[in-house]
Structure 1
């Protein structure tokens, strides 16, 4: 497992964390969303490679898994931490 795969997982986590933070309108900071996204993506990608091996097909599937793990971890975080109040209902 090369460093390139870890970097790609981290990039997926950064993008996923930023996008999820914007879509969910969470009360916490973008930095926290990105950090949780990176952790989820790295964990998901790494676990897939550990359990199913490291070949070309699994590397591609690990990218998808890292994106899904990022989304799941951010969703769990949004359930734990309260969201922003709606300011649009004046």
Structure 2
């Protein structure tokens, strides 16, 4: 059951991050889920040590973990935009 919640929350985080980064029209449901989950990993590596909070990948569904995962997803989409287009949006 926790796996299903993890996928749903990852999809929502990826969708919100794609709206912020204006890549929503290019992404589907599957890519939003991937961005949310991988973005949570990026947030765990880069943002989590700075703020002292875990991510959704560590079975913590608190508000701070959702924010760290969301920031990680935005960073991931920014990195992807830099690689694909040579600039961030």
TM-score of the superposition, structure 1-length normalised? 0.51
1:13 aligns with 10
Q: Which protein has the larger Cα radius of gyration, Structure 1 or Structure 2?
A: 1
**1:29 CA displacement:** 3.3
Conserved 8 A contact 1:26-1:82: no
- Residues 40 and 27 of structure 1: is their aligned pair in 2 closer, same or farther, counting only changes over 3 Å? closer
* Gap regions ≥5 residues in structure 2: 45-54
* Gap regions ≥5 residues in structure 1: 50-61, 85-90
1:72 aligns with 71
What do you get for the CA RMSD once the two structures are aligned? 3.4
Structure 1 runs of 4+ aligned residues shifted over 2 Å read: 26-29, 31-34, 38-47, 67-70, 81-84
Structure 2 distance, partners of 1:15, 1:27, is 12
Which is bigger in relative contact order (C-alpha 8 A, separation at least 6)?
A: 1
Q: Deviations over 1:36-79 (max 9, x none)?
A: 203445872343x5xxxxxxxxxxxx1122x2343122121132
* Matched length: 68
Equivalent of residue 24 in structure 1, options 17, 21, 26: 21
